[in-house]
C-alpha cells in the first residue's frame, strides 16, 4: 500500500493523444450500420441529416459541459470524480460499478466481437462452433455455442491490455496511429462515394410520414453512434496541460466526429436511394460495392476493423482508470489502485477490466447485459452534465480554467436529451431497463462494505 501512494500516474498524453481518444472511441462500427435504422425511423433523407445534426449538437452540449468539469478536476475516473464531488460518494460508486462490471466491459466485449465478425468476411472459419456447453446458459436458455472467433476476440482484448500496461504513452501513440488510419480510410470511402459513385436512381424521397416516436427512435440511434466522447475525461490525470488540452479535445474531437458522420452519410445517400439504405444490412459495404466494385465492400470491412480496433484500444485505455480511481478512494478492491513502478500505469486495473471483458465475450451474453444498463447509465450521464450547475452553487470558489459556453443553456439541453433517451429506452425495452436499474443497485451492499472497511482502517 505504501508503494501505491508514492508511485503516481504520469502525464504522458498530449493534445493529439486526447483528441484521438475522443475521435477513435466514438467512431466504431456505428457509422457503417446506423444510417439504415435512422432512415427507417425518420422516414426521409432530409430528416436523417436533421437528426444527425441534432444528435451532434446534443453531444457537443455534453462535451462543452464536461469540459468545465474536466478542466476543474483533471483526475482519473471522469464521471466517477464529478458525481462524487456533486452528489456524494454513493453516486460516484454506482457509476463506477456500472462501468466496470457491465457498461465499459460490455462495450469492450461488443467491440472485440464486432472485429471478429468483420474478419469473417476474409476468414469464414472464424464463425465455426468448436464447442457447445451443454447447459441452458446461451441465448433464450439454449446451450452456449463457442466459436473460434470468440477466442480471437479475447486474444485481441488481452493484446491491447498488454500494450496499455506498458505505458499510457505507448497506448496513446497506438491510439493516434490507428485513429489517423481510420479517418483516412473513412475519407477514402466518402470520396469513393461522392466522386466515383453514380447518383442513385430517382426514388421516393419519403419512405413514410414522420412520427414523433420515429423521430426520437432515430435520435436514439444517432446518440449511440456519437457515444464515447466522454471517455477522455477518464484519463484526465495523465494528460499534459489538462486545463487546456481537455476542453480542446472534448470540443474539437466532437466537432470532428460530427463532420465525419455528415460526410459519410452524404456519400451513402448519393449512391443509394433511401429505400435501398433502408433495405441494406451493411450500408457502407453496399455503397462501395456499387461505387467501385466488389473490392470496395472488402475495403469497408478493413476500414470497419481498424475503426473498431481504435475504439477498443481507447476503451481499454480510458475505462481502466475508473476502477483505479475507485480503489484509490477505498471504494473498490485495493489492488486496483496499485500503479506499476516501471510504467506508471494502473496495471492490475487494466488487466482486471480486460479479463472480465474477455469473459463476457466468451459468455455470449455481453450484448444483453449492456442493454440492461443503457437506461441507468444515461441517468448518470444526465446527472453528470447537471453537476455543472450543482457545483456552480455548491463550490462557487472552485477554480474553473474553462467555463461552459452559454451556461446554463447547454448543460440543460444535454440533460433534456438524456431524459429523452432514458424515456425512449424505458418505453422500448421496459423489462431490460428496470432489470438494468436493479443491477446497478446491486452495487449498494458492496458500497457499504467498502465504506465500512475504509472508516475502520481510518480508526486503526
Residues 299-337 have pLDDT tens digits of 888 998 999 999 999 999 999 999 999 999 999 999 999
Decide the pairing of beta strands 144-147 and 129-133.
Answer: antiparallel
- β-bridge mates for residue 235, sequence order: 76
Q: Could you please report the per-residue DSSP string of 151-162?
A: HHHHHHHHHHHH
pLDDT greater than 70 at residue 272: yes
CA distances from 237 to 4, 99, 105, 109, 321 (A): 15, 18, 21, 26, 9
Kindly list the structural domains of the chain, giving each domain's residue range(s) and its CATH number in brackets, ordered by start: 2-452 (1.20.1740.10)
The pLDDT tens digits of the residues spanning 146-201 come to: 899 999 999 999 999 999 999 888 999 999 999 999 999 999 999 998 988 777 66
- β-bridge mates for residue 133, sequence order: 144
Instruction: List CB contacts of 64: < 8 A, sequence separation 6 or more.
Output: 250, 251, 404, 405, 406, 410
pLDDT greater than 80 at residue 429: no
Indicate the DSSP class of residue 194: I
Provide the b/e sequence for 232-261 (b: ≥16 CB within 10 Å).
bbbbbbbbeebeebbbbbbbbbbbbbbebb
Question: For the chain, what percent of residues have pLDDT higher than 90?
Answer: 46
Q: Are 69 and 83 in contact (CB under 8 A)?
A: no
pLDDT greater than 80 at residue 117: yes
Lowest mean pLDDT, pick from 74-78, 137-141, 439-443 = 137-141
* pLDDT value for 213: 78
Indicate the DSSP class of residue 324: H
Chain centre to alpha carbon of residue 450: 28
Task: Provide the H-helix boundaries in 195-241.
Answer: 212-226
| Total length of the chain | 460
pLDDT greater than 90 at residue 217: no
CA distances from 172 to 204, 255, 315, 322, 340 (A): 46, 20, 12, 17, 17
What is the band of 132 on the pLDDT scale with cuts at 50, 70, 90? confident
Please give the Cα distance from 310 to 322 (Å, whole number). Answer: 19
CA distances from 392 to 60, 72, 83, 251, 408 (A): 20, 11, 14, 21, 10
Indicate the DSSP class of residue 136: S
Q: Are 120 and 127 in contact (CB under 8 A)?
A: yes
pLDDT greater than 90 at residue 364: no
* pLDDT value for 228: 85
pLDDT greater than 50 at residue 222: yes
Backbone angles phi, psi at 76, to 5 degrees: -65, 140
* pLDDT value for 2: 40
Q: Are 31 and 258 in contact (CB under 8 A)?
A: no
| First-to-last C-alpha distance (Å) of the chain | 15
Indicate the DSSP class of residue 44: B
pLDDT greater than 50 at residue 3: no
Which grid cell is 290? 456499387
Smallest CA-to-CA distance from 372 within 384, 383, 360 is with 360
- β-bridge mates for residue 129, sequence order: 147
**What is the average pLDDT across 257-269?**
94
What is the band of 448 on the pLDDT scale with cuts at 50, 70, 90? very high
Please give the Cα distance from 20 to 177 (Å, whole number). Answer: 9
* pLDDT value for 4: 40
- Stated as kind and residue range, the H or E segment containing 289 is helix 283-292
Please give the Cα distance from 17 to 9 (Å, whole number). Answer: 16
SS3 220: helix
Please give the Cα distance from 375 to 434 (Å, whole number). Answer: 8
Please give the Cα distance from 228 to 236 (Å, whole number). Answer: 15
Amino acid at each position: 500500500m505504501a508503494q501505491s501512494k508514492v508511485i503516481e500516474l504520469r502525464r504522458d498524453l498530449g493534445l493529439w493523444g486526447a483528441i484521438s481518444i475522443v475521435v477513435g472511441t466514438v467512431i466504431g462500427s456505428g457509422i457503417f450500420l446506423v444510417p439504415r435504422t435512422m432512415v427507417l425511423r425518420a422516414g426521409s433523407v432530409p430528416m436523417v441529416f436533421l437528426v444527425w445534426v441534432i444528435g451532434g449538437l446534443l453531444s457537443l452540449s455534453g462535451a462543452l459541459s464536461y469540459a468545465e468539469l474536466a478542466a476543474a478536476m483533471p483526475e482519473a475516473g471522469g464521471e466517477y470524480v464529478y458525481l462524487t464531488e456533486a452528489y456524494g460518494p454513493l453516486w460516484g460508486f454506482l457509476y463506477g460499478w456500472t462501468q466496470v462490471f457491465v457498461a465499459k466491459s460490455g462495450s469492450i466485449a461488443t467491440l472485440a466481437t464486432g472485429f471478429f465478425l468483420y474478419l469473417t468476411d476474409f476468414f469464414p472459419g472464424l464463425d465455426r462452433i468448436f464447442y457447445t456447453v451443454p447447459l441452458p446458459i446461451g441465448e433464450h436458455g439454449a446451450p452456449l455455442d463457442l466459436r473460434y472467433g470468440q477466442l480471437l476476440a479475447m486474444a485481441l482484448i488481452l493484446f491491447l491490455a498488454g500494450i496499455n500496461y506498458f505505458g499510457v504513452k505507448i497506448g496513446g501513440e497506438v491510439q493516434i496511429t490507428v485513429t489517423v488510419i481510420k479517418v483516412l480510410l473513412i475519407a477514402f470511402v466518402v470520396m469513393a462515394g461522392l466522386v466515383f459513385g453514380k447518383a442513385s436512381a430517382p426514388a421516393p424521397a419519403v419512405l413514410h410520414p414522420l412520427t414523433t416516436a420515429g423521430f426520437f427512435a432515430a435520435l436514439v440511434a444517432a446518440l449511440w453512434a456519437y457515444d464515447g466522447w466522454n471517455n477522455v475525461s477518464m484519463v484526465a490525470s495523465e494528460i499534459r496541460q489538462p486545463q487546456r488540452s481537455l476542453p480542446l479535445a472534448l470540443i474539437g474531437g466532437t466537432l470532428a466526429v460530427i463532420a465525419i458522420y455528415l460526410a459519410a452519410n452524404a456519400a451513402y445517400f448519393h449512391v443509394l436511394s433511401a429505400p435501398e439504405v433502408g433495405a441494406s444490412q451493411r450500408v457502407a459495404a453496399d455503397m462501395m460495392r456499387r461505387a467501385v466494385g466488389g473490392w470496395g465492400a472488402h475495403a469497408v470491412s478493413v476500414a470497419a476493423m481498424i475503426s473498431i480496433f481504435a475504439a477498443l484500444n481507447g476503451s481499454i485505455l480510458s475505462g481502466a482508470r475508473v476502477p483505479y480511481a475507485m480503489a484509490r478512494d477505498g471504494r473498490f478492491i485495493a489492488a486496483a489502485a496499485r500503479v506499476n513502478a516501471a510504467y506508471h500505469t494502473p496495471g492490475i486495473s487494466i488487466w482486471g477490466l480486460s479479463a472480465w471483458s474477455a469473459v463476457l465475450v466468451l459468455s455470449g451474453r455481453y450484448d444483453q447485459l449492456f442493454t440492461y444498463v443503457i437506461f441507468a447509465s444515461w441517468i448518470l450521464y444526465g446527472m453528470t452534465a447537471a453537476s455543472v450547475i450543482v457545483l456552480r452553487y455548491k463550490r462557487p470558489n472552485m477554480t474553473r480554467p474553462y467555463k461552459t459556453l452559454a451556461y446554463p443553456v447547454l448543460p440543460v439541453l444535454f440533460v433534456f436529451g438524456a431524459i429523452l433517451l432514458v424515456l425512449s429506452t424505458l418505453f422500448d425495452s421496459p423489462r431490460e431497463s428496470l432489470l438494468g436499474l436493479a443491477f446497478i443497485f446491486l452495487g449498494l451492499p458492496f458500497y457499504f462494505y467498502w465504506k465500512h472497511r475504509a472508516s475502520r482502517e481510518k480508526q486503526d
